[in-house]
Protein backbone atom coordinates (compact mmCIF):
# COMPACT_ATOMS: atom_id res chain seq x y z
CA UNK A 1 0.00 0.00 0.00
CA UNK A 2 2.89 2.36 0.73
CA UNK A 3 4.26 1.85 -2.77
CA UNK A 4 0.94 2.81 -4.31
CA UNK A 5 0.70 5.94 -2.15
CA UNK A 6 4.27 6.88 -3.04
CA UNK A 7 3.54 6.41 -6.73
CA UNK A 8 0.35 8.47 -6.54
CA UNK A 9 2.13 11.22 -4.60
CA UNK A 10 4.99 11.33 -7.09
CA UNK A 11 2.66 11.38 -10.09
CA UNK A 12 0.41 14.03 -8.51
CA UNK A 13 3.37 16.33 -7.86
CA UNK A 14 4.90 15.66 -11.29
CA UNK A 15 1.61 16.37 -13.05
CA UNK A 16 1.10 19.51 -10.97
CA UNK A 17 4.56 20.82 -11.88
CA UNK A 18 4.04 20.06 -15.58
CA UNK A 19 0.66 21.82 -15.51
CA UNK A 20 2.22 24.88 -13.85
CA UNK A 21 5.07 24.87 -16.39
CA UNK A 22 2.50 24.76 -19.20
CA UNK A 23 0.87 27.86 -17.70
CA UNK A 24 4.06 29.81 -18.40
CA UNK A 25 2.86 30.07 -22.01
CA UNK A 26 0.30 32.59 -20.74
CA UNK A 27 1.82 36.10 -20.59
CA UNK A 28 0.58 36.96 -17.10
CA UNK A 29 2.19 33.86 -15.54
CA UNK A 30 5.39 34.45 -17.50
CA UNK A 31 5.45 38.09 -16.37
CA UNK A 32 4.94 37.02 -12.75
CA UNK A 33 7.85 34.56 -13.05
CA UNK A 34 10.13 37.19 -14.58
CA UNK A 35 9.24 39.78 -11.93
CA UNK A 36 9.73 37.25 -9.11
CA UNK A 37 13.09 36.12 -10.50
CA UNK A 38 14.13 39.78 -10.90
CA UNK A 39 13.18 40.51 -7.31
CA UNK A 40 15.18 37.54 -6.02
CA UNK A 41 18.12 38.55 -8.23
CA UNK A 42 18.01 42.04 -6.79
CA UNK A 43 17.90 40.70 -3.24
CA UNK A 44 20.87 38.36 -3.72
CA UNK A 45 23.10 40.10 -6.26
CA UNK A 46 21.90 43.65 -6.80
CA UNK A 47 22.62 45.21 -3.43
CA UNK A 48 25.77 47.10 -2.53
CA UNK A 49 28.05 45.52 0.08
CA UNK A 50 27.63 47.05 3.54
CA UNK A 51 30.23 49.51 4.77
CA UNK A 52 33.02 48.07 6.96
CA UNK A 53 31.54 49.26 10.26
CA UNK A 54 27.95 48.09 9.57
CA UNK A 55 25.96 45.82 11.88
CA UNK A 56 26.40 42.08 11.49
CA UNK A 57 22.83 41.26 10.38
CA UNK A 58 23.38 41.17 6.63
CA UNK A 59 22.12 37.58 6.41
CA UNK A 60 18.55 38.53 7.42
CA UNK A 61 17.38 39.80 4.02
CA UNK A 62 18.69 36.83 1.99
CA UNK A 63 17.30 34.41 4.59
CA UNK A 64 13.90 36.09 4.37
CA UNK A 65 14.05 35.88 0.57
CA UNK A 66 14.86 32.16 0.74
CA UNK A 67 11.99 31.53 3.17
CA UNK A 68 9.63 33.47 0.92
CA UNK A 69 10.85 31.54 -2.11
CA UNK A 70 10.32 28.24 -0.28
CA UNK A 71 6.77 29.19 0.72
CA UNK A 72 5.90 30.34 -2.79
CA UNK A 73 7.28 27.13 -4.31
CA UNK A 74 5.40 25.02 -1.75
CA UNK A 75 2.10 26.76 -2.51
CA UNK A 76 2.82 26.59 -6.24
CA UNK A 77 3.44 22.84 -6.16
CA UNK A 78 0.78 21.90 -3.63
CA UNK A 79 -1.92 24.11 -5.13
CA UNK A 80 -2.76 26.19 -2.07
CA UNK A 81 -6.35 25.42 -1.15
CA UNK A 82 -6.63 22.33 -3.35
CA UNK A 83 -5.86 18.88 -2.01
CA UNK A 84 -2.30 17.67 -2.51
CA UNK A 85 -3.51 14.22 -3.54
CA UNK A 86 -6.43 14.46 -5.91
CA UNK A 87 -7.94 10.99 -6.12
CA UNK A 88 -10.17 10.01 -9.01
CA UNK A 89 -13.35 8.07 -8.19
CA UNK A 90 -11.71 4.84 -9.42
CA UNK A 91 -8.71 5.39 -7.13
CA UNK A 92 -10.98 6.06 -4.16
CA UNK A 93 -12.85 2.81 -4.83
CA UNK A 94 -9.58 0.88 -5.13
CA UNK A 95 -7.69 2.41 -2.20
CA UNK A 96 -10.52 2.81 0.32
CA UNK A 97 -12.81 -0.16 -0.26
CA UNK A 98 -13.93 -1.07 3.27
CA UNK A 99 -16.45 1.15 5.02
CA UNK A 100 -16.02 1.31 8.77
CA UNK A 101 -18.94 1.15 11.16
CA UNK A 102 -19.55 4.36 13.06
CA UNK A 103 -18.24 3.05 16.39
CA UNK A 104 -15.30 1.00 15.04
CA UNK A 105 -12.52 3.63 15.38
CA UNK A 106 -13.62 4.81 18.82
CA UNK A 107 -13.96 1.38 20.53
CA UNK A 108 -10.21 0.50 20.60
CA UNK A 109 -9.37 4.01 21.81
CA UNK A 110 -11.93 3.79 24.61
CA UNK A 111 -10.64 0.37 25.66
CA UNK A 112 -7.05 1.64 25.68
CA UNK A 113 -8.08 4.63 27.79
CA UNK A 114 -9.81 2.49 30.41
CA UNK A 115 -6.81 0.16 30.53
CA UNK A 116 -4.50 3.11 31.26
CA UNK A 117 -6.80 4.32 34.04
CA UNK A 118 -6.87 0.83 35.60
CA UNK A 119 -3.06 0.57 35.48
CA UNK A 120 -2.59 3.99 37.07
CA UNK A 121 -5.04 3.32 39.91
Q: Per residue in 33-51, pLDDT tens?
A: 888 888 888 877 777 776 6
Residue 59, C-beta contacts closer than 8 angstroms, at least 6 positions apart: none
Give the C-alpha separation, 86 to 75, whole Å. Answer: 15
Query: Please, what sign has the CA dihedral across residues 26, 28, 29, 32?
Result: positive
pTM: 0.36
Q: Provide the domain count of the chain.
A: 1
Angstrom distances, CA of residue 116 to CA of 11, 74, 99, 104, 108: 43, 41, 29, 20, 12
Range of the domain at 75: 2-49+57-120
What is the rounded distance in angstroms from the CA atom of residue 70 to the CA atom of residue 92?
31
- Dump pLDDT digits (tens) for 1-43: 578 888 888 998 899 889 888 888 888 888 888 888 888 888 7
Amino acid sequence: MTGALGYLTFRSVANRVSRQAARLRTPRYLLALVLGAGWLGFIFWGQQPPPPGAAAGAWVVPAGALITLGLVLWIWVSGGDRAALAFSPAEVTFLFPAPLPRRAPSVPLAEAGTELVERAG
